[in-house]
Amino acid sequence: MSNPLQGKHGPLLIAEIGGNHEGDFEYAKHLTQLAIDCDVDMVKFQIYTGDSLVSRLESPQRNAHFKKFELAKEQHLELAKMVTDAGLRYTSSVWDLSAMAWIDPYIPVYKIGSGDLTAYPVLRETAHLGKPLIISTGLSTEAEVIDAVKFIQNVNPNYKNVEMLAVLQCTSMYPINAADAHLNVMQRYRALTGLTIGYSDHTEGSAALNYAVAMGAEVLEFHFTDTREGKVFRDHKVSLTPKEVKALIEEIALIKSLQGSAQKLPTQIELDNGHELSFRRAVYPAQAIQAGEILSDKNLTVLRPNHGIDARDFDKLIGKKALVALEAHQKLSFDMFE
């Protein structure tokens, strides 16, 4: 695929398993296989250790939480291989920068999570790798987003290319209300950056994703799980199930079909059915007109079908003299007039 930020169904579809495995490697493999079977474009994880992400002293509970969710290097590599061997693309938010040395061969497109938008050392290390990059923008002001984009582009000017950097609208809460999605921000990003735009979803259900596609999203990221039933970890609540992902893909196909082309022309089905004639009007005598009579808006009208003189030429006939007698609703031609 020439554009790494384009998906096989239209928008690039990223199934974010993230921490939904909750540190259980067998469950992580199960979720990975389910995501592969859903025919998404990318399967995404998060690579971290508790101590490489959260201060033990300032936030001991969060540190312990992430330690509980850790997967080993070998486990991450096996998951990445599962995805790539299946012909899909693997990606990850690499929160432990030391992991880039061993996971990079498996990552064709890097993802920066919302929490790292202002972590410039992370942006710098990732941008130095020179691979396509997707950034989420939860928690951020517009100015912070633009500053981050400029920082990345200063590190590596290749990120000025629309196929190298995508900016996703995101709200960092789990779950969010519909009013907190702010999908209009996507087009603001497009206007300000000229880059690929998209949406990272934290609503419940898939409605926001459908509308994001209709509003121009080129990248969609959504959390993914097998079921939300009986789950305590918050991310499961905003995750799509396999059935919902397949429904999303079907809905995207419908949306793309409805969107069609931006070039306005008569469609073939309109032409095949003759509607350019039967639906449009031509000029007709509104009443019987005698030879020598002057044409006016009193003795002319416009009617369907568009046979003879097009209704757009109505004013050209005003003031002309009829050379022959005409009956009401008769098809006209210019040689009938002086």
Cα separation of 206 and 187, whole Å?
Answer: 20
What Å distances lie between residue 262 and 133, 193, 252, 337, CA to CA?
28, 22, 17, 41
| pLDDT value at residue 318 | 98
List beta partners, residue 287: none
Cα separation of 91 and 114, whole Å?
Answer: 16
List beta partners, residue 265: none
Task: Kindly state the helix (H) or strand (E) to which residue 180 belongs, with its residue range.
Answer: none
Q: In the chain, which ranges are continuous DSSP H helix? A: 25-37, 50-53, 60-68, 73-85, 100-103, 120-129, 142-155, 185-193, 207-214, 242-259, 268-272, 275-278, 314-317
What Å distances lie between residue 162 and 130, 132, 236, 242, 318, CA to CA?
14, 10, 32, 30, 55
**Exposure class string for 232-258: b at 16+ Cβ within 10 A, else e:** ebebbebbbbbebbeebbebbeebeee
| pLDDT value at residue 45 | 97
Q: pTM of the full predicted structure?
A: 0.90
CA proximity to 205, closest of 223, 218, 220:
223
**Mean pLDDT, the chain cut into blocks of 10 residues (338 residues total):** 90 95 95 97 96 96 94 97 98 96 98 97 97 98 98 98 98 95 98 98 96 98 93 88 97 96 95 97 98 98 98 98 98 97
Q: Are 63 and 112 in contact (CB under 8 A)?
A: no
- Domains in the chain: ranges and CATH: 6-259 (3.20.20.70), 268-336 (3.90.1210.10)
SS3 74: helix
| pLDDT value at residue 161 | 98
| pLDDT value at residue 8 | 96
User: Over the Cα atoms of the chain, what is R_g?
Assistant: 30
pLDDT tens for each residue of 102-140: 999 999 999 999 999 999 999 999 999 999 999 999 999
pLDDT tens for each residue of 19-67: 889 999 999 999 999 999 999 999 999 999 999 999 999 999 999 999 9
Cα separation of 245 and 250, whole Å?
Answer: 9
Q: Which two tokens stand for residue 135?
A: 């950034």
Cα separation of 121 and 98, whole Å?
Answer: 12
